[in-house]
Amino acid sequence: MIQAAVMGYGTIGSGVVEVLEKNREYVAKEAKEEIRVKRVLDLREFPGDPVQDKITHDIADILEDPEIRIVIETMGGTKPAYDFVKRCILAGKSVCTSNKELVAAYGPELQRLARENHCCFLYEASVGGGIPIIRPLAKCLTSDPVRSIKGILNGTTNYILTRMDKEGADFDEVLKAAQALGYAEKNPTADVEGYDACRKIAILTSLVCRKQVNYEDIYTEGISKITAADFVYAKAMGCRIKLIAQSFLQDGCWYALVAPFLVSEESPLYAVQDVFNGILTKGDFNGELMFYGRGAGKEATACAVVADVIDAARHPGHTVNIAWSEEHQEIANIGGARFSWFVRVKDTPGILEEAKKLFGNIQVQEAGLTGECAFVTGPISENDFAAKAEKLSGILTRIRFDQ
């Protein structure tokens, strides 16, 4: 019997307890030992909940209990998660976490401490919910360098964009409906402004480069400025608008960004709808690979956490090493990254001629909206685009094209 503890009994923490309970026999067979939750750390009480007698408010009850070998961290945020996780690892307890803020900020240190203390620090659930992506990157895509990785990594924004697309509705309206349904949080900033996806692409890029990417270096733009009119054009072009988090090698530099993109039907990401996530990698020899599934939600994320718990249970006294080095991975200034742009602009006399003069070969787009016109540029660097766009008056929207 392996005793475990859960820190943070919110959506994912309670999902983990549920999966461990409902799949008890199956998990025991896979782990070769039964796994039982002995303690649940949370600030709150849970009267009437099956874990009510296991609740503690004191981390010492976990740290000082030699029976507890595996700790599940589902608190989110870095305070006090970082301190708690570090102390667990220093006490030789394996930690399995779904916390992308923690992994993005402190990944390599916690990975190193796990090695030094002969235990595991595992985080499959921190990106892509129930989609296996961390292990495939660390253990499978090892023979052919990944040149680009991009994905729809945030379920909330993908749900909002899917609804805007299907219903022709505006952002605010759909956000409110999503909040009412529990698909978006009361304070939706982390999701809609791309901060969540930014942490996740930082983790994936760190794994790909085997070096630490600071998430602060990643240019991040959310979806709150996307309008129903943008979707009218997107449809006319056979595209969808998706919040894409990506990093890629261009001219020998790694670039990384999170931003809304126009995605054409040809991309496997086009079909990733609602709360689903999809992650696309590209290598010289291996070509394109996609990993697709439920990127969020209590149950799928809990499955990934429990799979980590099973892996830790299978390797007592041993480190399952899924790690990158503490060395810093430089991310190039986004100014040099090249994209094609879709631009909507107020219809004023000579505006398209002016756009042509500025951007060269542009493709004019029609979508039947009055009082405005729209065009698509060729590939152009961010700096170049910004400088030229400043000279063009009346810009309503600018969205990058996924290529």
Q: Which of the residues are catalytic?
A: 200
Alpha-carbon distance of 316 to 183, in angstroms, equals 38
Which positions from 296 to 325 touch a copy of itself by CB under 8 A, shown as an x/- string?
---xx-xxxxxx-xxx--------------
- Binding to a copy of itself (CB under 8 A) within 4-23 occurs at 19, 22-23
287 lies in the binding site for a copy of itself (CB under 8 A): yes
249 lies in the binding site for a copy of itself (CB under 8 A): no
- Residue closer to a copy of itself by CB (options 76, 297) is 297
Which positions from 261 to 280 touch a copy of itself by CB under 8 A, shown as an x/- string?
-------x--x---------
> Which has the closest alpha carbon to 299: 77, 68, 11?
11
Instruction: Confirm if 6 and 19 have CB atoms less than 8 A apart.
Output: no
Query: Could you write out the three-class secondary structure of 276-327?
Result: EEEEEEEECCCEEEEEEEECCCHHHHHHHHHHHHHHHHHCCCCCCCCCCEEE
Instruction: Confirm if 101 and 199 have CB atoms less than 8 A apart.
Output: yes
- Residue closer to a copy of itself by CB (options 121, 292) is 292
- Binding to a copy of itself (CB under 8 A) within 69-128 occurs at 124
Q: How far is the CB of 180 from a copy of itself (least distance, A)?
A: 23
- Binding to a copy of itself (CB under 8 A) within 336-355 occurs at none
Q: What angle do CA 378, 380, 381 make, to 5 degrees?
A: 165
Residue position matching structure tokens 């007698």: 53
Alpha-carbon distance of 346 to 329, in angstroms, equals 41
- Residue closer to a copy of itself by CB (options 112, 338) is 112
Stretch that binds a copy of itself, among 39-47, 84-92, 293-301, 346-354 (CB under 8 A): 293-301
Number of residues in contact with a copy of itself under rule CB under 8 A: 45
Instruction: Confirm if 382 and 334 have CB atoms less than 8 A apart.
Output: yes
Instruction: Confirm if 152 and 259 have CB atoms less than 8 A apart.
Output: no
Report the residue from 294, 337, 362, 389 that binds a copy of itself according to the rule CB under 8 A. 294
- Binding to a copy of itself (CB under 8 A) within 48-67 occurs at none
27 lies in the binding site for a copy of itself (CB under 8 A): yes
376 lies in the binding site for a copy of itself (CB under 8 A): no
Beta-carbon contacts of 169 under 8 Å, excluding residues fewer than 6 positions away, are 163, 228
> Which has the closest alpha carbon to 74: 5, 6, 19, 153?
6
Q: Based on the number of CB atoms within 10 Å of its own CB, is 352 exposed (0-12), middle (13-18) or buried (19 or more)?
A: middle
Is the backbone peptide bond immediately before 80 cis, with ω within 30 degrees of 0? yes
- Residue closer to a copy of itself by CB (options 292, 342) is 292
> Which has the closest alpha carbon to 240: 337, 338, 342?
342
136 lies in the binding site for a copy of itself (CB under 8 A): yes
153 lies in the binding site for a copy of itself (CB under 8 A): no
- Residue closer to a copy of itself by CB (options 124, 165) is 124
Alpha-carbon distance of 316 to 296, in angstroms, equals 29
Report the residue from 285, 317, 349, 361 that binds a copy of itself according to the rule CB under 8 A. 285
Helix (H, G, I), strand (E, B) or coil at 44: coil
Alpha-carbon distance of 366 to 85, in angstroms, equals 54
- Residue closer to a copy of itself by CB (options 22, 328) is 22
- Residue closer to a copy of itself by CB (options 110, 300) is 300
Q: How far is the CB of 27 from a copy of itself (least distance, A)?
A: 6
Report the residue from 289, 332, 367, 392 that binds a copy of itself according to the rule CB under 8 A. 289
Strands (E), 74-145: 94-97, 121-122
Stretch that binds a copy of itself, among 68-76, 79-87, 143-151, 162-170 (CB under 8 A): 143-151
140 lies in the binding site for a copy of itself (CB under 8 A): yes
Q: Which parts of this chain interact with a copy of itself (CB under 8 A)?
A: 19, 22-23, 26-27, 30-31, 124, 130-132, 135-136, 139-145, 268, 271, 283-294, 299-300, 302-307, 309-311
